[in-house]
Each structure stands twice: as structure tokens, then as C-alpha cells.
Amino acid sequence: MNDIVRMTDISKVYPSSNVRALDHVDFTLKKGEIHSLLGENGAGKSTLMKILYGMNAPYSGEVVIYGEKKIMSKPIHAIELGISMVHQHFMLTPVMTVAENIVIGREPRKGILFDRESAEREIQKMIDTYGFNLSPKAKVEDLSTGEQQRVEILKAMYGGAGIIILDEPTAVLTPQEVNDLFAIMRRLKADGKTIVIITHKLKETINIADRASVLRDGKMIRTDIQVKDTTIEELSRYMVGRDVELGIQRPSLEIGEVAFEVRNLNLVEREHSILKQINLKVHRGEILGIAGIEGNGQSELLEVLTGVRKPTSMELRKNGELLKGDARAFIDQGIGHVPEDRMSQGLVASMSIMENLILGYHKRPQFSKRGLLKDTEIEEFSDQMIEEYRIKAPGSRTPCKMLSGGNQQKVVIARIFSEDPDIIIIAQPTRGVDIGAMEYIHSRMLDLRDEGKAILLLSADLDEVRNLSDRLLVIYEGEIVAEAERNQMNESEIGLYMTGSRSQKSGE
């Protein structure tokens, strides 16, 4: 048989919470394949692969690698068998060089000395073989996310790994970097490596994988799916357990007058022009999407439009009236905003759901009186939100850090949407969120739009912007370079604007 890994009847129970993360799961890997392990967040994908990588002992069941039964209790056991894992959160040391990061634990030596030259030479050879654009002497902190991921892949292969597990590798990448990664994966496959890609993105599975397995709530729903014989719809049904509407477009029925207008927005910091001459209008009943590769000024734009950062110049009007002040004033004026990073800006992770649900709105008479919080009322409100927004949680007093990414995002969204703002500025609403929650968040946004709210959407997910937006702008290096109505531009056209290869301003 060419099954190089066979995992049989694997179960894993976390003793602290008594949660059964994996329930009698079987899984096999064939030599030289790209295998997509699909599932929603919390379905047990990473748990299963961490068992294979020796990071998740103890477990019950049997792991057979290259025909021999093995007990995986430490990553080093797996590494010695040629199994490596590239984690979602990179295991790199930013202040050290590419070479140092890659060779750690198996350094070439001269006596007791670290043989830096031969390490760098070997790694340069690998870099040349795979056509990575990297220097072994570069410090990891100076590299982009995509480059850091390549360092992780080199680290996995150094020492000759035959099996590489990639945990959600595309979550942190731009569309261009995803293409590069897929090219690398194909080259590794041609080289005879076996690759597991852990993901919840169906399109990626269809694009890159040979076979797929689907986990749901710790159970293996289907394994040995031949990707060429399946469809996105079929895979999503296995994954969620019901039919999901994905990528359905729901154009606006009625676009009203201008609700929110930005004129002449410039931001210069340290003699560096970050936002250049931005003008935009959002109408009632409209979603205006801003597409762009991350780092082109979206974060700054979001902060300026929510009053967190002071622009160099800007004229901001809400329903025709000039708007001024700080973040507090913006909230009070009915501009709700969902920040791009829920963990650092949207939530206080160690605080409970009910506390997070009233953050920023805690002074409302509904929630507090003379500086004292009304605990009972807040909890009632919170219970109601948990039900309404289908937040999966043990209760209102659960700390937000205990929730999955999708449910954390629902808490942020519930907080903003329940305040009934006229204008909603929403950034990366579904980053790191599973399909079920994504579908729900999108439909809530569309509902609010149909109620006549004006929504400004910033997202790095091109599919998301294209499907939701009634009108779309493309931002590149702090400048709006293109504008289009729904479905006026296709994906590759938008891509050209996003990378600066084209601009409507300079007349194409």
C-alpha cells in the first residue's frame, strides 16, 4: 500500500473541560498527495494533526507511519520520522536570522562552535532549489508574512521531511502570496513530498488538493474525497451539515441619499503621505466596499473615520452636517464601527461576554446609573444578544477568550448592531470566522443595509467585498485608484488595480 500514514480510531478528550475533541477518527495519507483536511473552526482539524506531530499527547487510537506503529508524544519524535508542521502562528524568533531559525536543534557544528557558514550555504542551496526570494542572513523580523511562512516551510524541510502539515497557511496571506504558496506546494509535491493543508476554505481545497477529508464536531464525516469529482457545494454541506448559501449576491433594492461623506482626506505622518486625497460617499441602503491589499492605508483610513486618529485634513459630513471630535463623539453621533482586529481592538479578551457587549456604551442609562453598572439589566441584555446573534457560549459571564473566533466576532458585531447606528464602518468582518458564522454575519449586514443603513466595508477578502458591495473602491498606497458598480469589474481586473499595475486616475 502507498498509505504512508494511517491513523485509526483516534480519540482525544481534554481532561480540563471534558470536551471530546476527536471521536474515533480515521485518517490516511498517500505518498505524494496534497490532502486537504477541511472543517469549521473547532472541528478538530488541528487537534488531529497535532497528534500526528506529537504535540497533543495523550490520545487513544493507533498511528502507523511507513508501516510501523508509533507513539507520538513529542514533536521531536515526529520530526525524526520526517513529519513537520508549519503552524498558523509561526514558531519563529524574530530577532534571529533565517539560517539560525531554520537549523535550531540540528545545527551544523565545528566542535562546540556553531558552523554558521555551512548552515547558510546549505540553506542558500534550498532557497535556490525552490526559487524562494530570501537571504539566509536576513533577520526574520524584517520579512513579510509570506516570506516568514517560507522560512517555516524551509525549517520543515531542513533535515529532509517527507510529510509537511500546513495549518491554515493562507489565513495570513494576501491573494498574491496565496498564489505563490500554491506554486510552492505544487513544486514540493513534484519533489515527492506529501502535504496536508488544514483549512476551512473550500475554494482553496478545490484549487490545490488531490484528496480531502472533512471533520465536523470531532467526527470524520467523509474521508477519501477525490477533489476532482466534487464541488464546493458538496464540500460545504459535509462541513456545515446543511446547505449553505455562499457567494449569493443580494443587490440593494433602494439606494437613498448620501448619509456619510468624506472629502479631501489626507494623512501625513513623519513626512510620509499615508492617505492621499480621499473622497467618498456612502448612501443610505448601500454597502460601499473598499478592496485592497493589506497595508495600503486601510487601517489608517478606518482609524481616521472612527475618530481614533487625527487626519491632516478632512471634511466629514453625516447627513450633510459637519462632524468633529474624538472617538467618543463619533460613537455618540451614531457611527458604529467594527475594528479590523477583534483581539487587540474589538474585545477585552479576559472580560466576560456581557461586559464586552456594553463596552463603549456602558454609560447608557440602560446599563448604568450614577457610575454604577446595572448588573441584572446588563445580563438580561446579554442573554438576549447571545440568543439573537446565535453566539455559542456557556453563558453571559463566560470570558470572551474562551470563545471561538467566529463567536468572538459575533460579540463585537452584536455590540455595534444592537446600538442601531445610522452608519456602520466594518473592517474584516469575517476574518478567521467559520462558514456558518460568515454566512450569518453577511446576512445581518445585508439586512441592516435593507433597513436603510449606510455601510462602509473594508476587507482583504476579495470575494467578500465583491459579493456584498453595491459599489466598490480599490485602494492602493493610500489612494483610491478605481471605482466600480457591482459586477462591473471581474476579479483579475480588480487584482490589477490592487497591485498598482493599473489606475483609473492616470487614465489606465
Partner 1 sequence: MSFLQDNMVYILVATISMSIPLILASLGGIFSARSGIMALGLESMMMTGAFTAVVGTYFSGNAYVGLLAGMGGGALISYLYGILCIRYKVNQVIAGVGLNLLALSATTLLTELIWGNRGSSPQVASIQLNLSFLSKVPVIGKILEGQSILLLITGVFVCVAWFVLFKTVYGLRLRIVGENPKAASTMGLKVKAIKYQGVIICGMLAGLGGAYLSIDHIDLFQRNMTAGRGYIAVVIMILGRYHPFYVVVAALIFGFSDAIQIYLQGQGIPSQLMQTIPYVVTLFVLAFGVKHIRPPAGIGMHEDDH
Contact footprint for partner 1 (CB under 8 A): 55, 74-76, 79, 91-96, 100-101, 104-107, 109, 112-114
Rank residues 79 and 438 by Cβ distance to partner 1 and give the closer one. 79
d(CA 305, CA 326): 10
Sequence-separated (6 or more) residues with CB below 8 Å from residue 466: 289, 291, 472, 487, 491, 494
Residue closer to partner 1 (CB basis): 76 or 348: 76
| C-beta of 37 vs 92, nearer to partner 1 | 92
Work out how close the CB of 340 gets to partner 1 at its nearest, in angstroms, rounded to a whole number: 24
- SS (HEC) of 403-429: CCHHHHHHHHHHHHHHCCCCEEEEECC
- Closest separation between CB of residue 110 and partner 1, Å? 9
Going from the C-alpha of 54 to that of each of 35, 182, 198, 291, 508, the distances in angstroms are 19, 26, 16, 40, 54
Shortest Å, Cβ 154 to partner 1: 13
Nearer to partner 1 (CB atom), residue 80 or residue 447 = 80
Residue 227 C-beta-side C-alpha neighbours within 13 Å: 19
Judged by beta carbon, residue 74 or residue 364, the one nearer partner 1 is: 74
Pick the closer one to partner 1 by CB: 87 or 203: 87
CA distances from 266 to 311, 423, 500 (A): 6, 21, 19
Smallest distance from partner 1 to CB 173, Å:
20
Task: For residue 174, give the C-alpha cell.
Answer: 494576501
> Shortest gap between Cβ of 143 and partner 1 (angstroms)?
15
Q: Where are the beta strands (DSSP E) in 244-300?
A: 258-269, 272-283, 286-291
CB of 118 to partner 1, least distance (A): 13
Listed in sequence order, the residues at least 6 apart from 298 whose beta carbon sits closer than 8 Å to its beta carbon are 290, 292, 340, 427, 458, 460, 475
The CB-of-294 to partner 1 minimum distance in angstroms stands at 24
Output DSSP code: residue 98: H
Shortest separation between residue 197's beta carbon and partner 1, angstroms:
19
User: What single-letter DSSP state applies at residue 177?
Assistant: H
In whole angstroms, the minimum distance from the beta carbon of 91 to partner 1 comes to: 4
CA angle, corner 220, sides to 442 and 61, nearest 5? Answer: 140
Task: Tell me whether residue 36 or residue 101 sits nearer to partner 1 (CB atom).
Answer: 101
User: Rounded to an integer, what distance in angstroms lies between the CA atom of residue 299 and that of residue 306?
Assistant: 11
Please compute Rg for the chain using Cα positions.
25
Residue number, 114 or 182, with CB nearest to partner 1: 114
The type of residue at 134 is L
Q: In the complex with partner 1, which residue's Cβ is closer, 105 or 241?
A: 105
SS3 445: helix
